[in-house]
Amino acid sequence: MKIAAVTTDKVTGDMAGINAKHWPHLDGIKFPEVGSRAVVDLLIGIDYAYLHHSLKDVYGCPGEPVARLTPLGWTCIGSTRPSLHSPPMSEFARTYFPI
């Protein structure tokens, strides 16, 4: 297989591995081990969509991360910032629209 690639110094910003213990629906998922080097060596783009294809999804509650099995193994998509509660809609409105 031939793959075209471009490079950059840091593609992930301050992103870190997740702690799946925050979400019971992720218990038992065999996520890959995070290496000691916190650097992403390869980012697979949409040009290779078949590598992103979902073979299986594991959902929790709305707003929680989703475990996705792809041809390359398990990954986690969605927000991974645990929250005790969602802010009420009035707070959302106050944030974006002067009330």
Phi and psi at residue 77, in whole multiples of 5°?
Answer: -120, 160
pLDDT of residue 77: 87
Residue segments in the chain with a per-residue pLDDT below the cut of 70: 10-16, 35-43, 81-99
Give the pLDDT of residue 66.
94
Residue 75 near residue 40 (C-beta atoms within 8 A): no
Residues 24 and 60: beta-carbon distance below 8 Å:
yes
Q: Please, which residues bridge with residue 77 across strands?
A: 66
The reported pLDDT for the residue numbered 54 is 94
| pLDDT of amino acid 67 | 94
Q: What are the residue boundaries of the structural domains of the chain, listed by start? A: 20-96
The pTM score is 0.60
Cα separations in angstroms, 20 against 28, 80, 85: 9, 9, 18
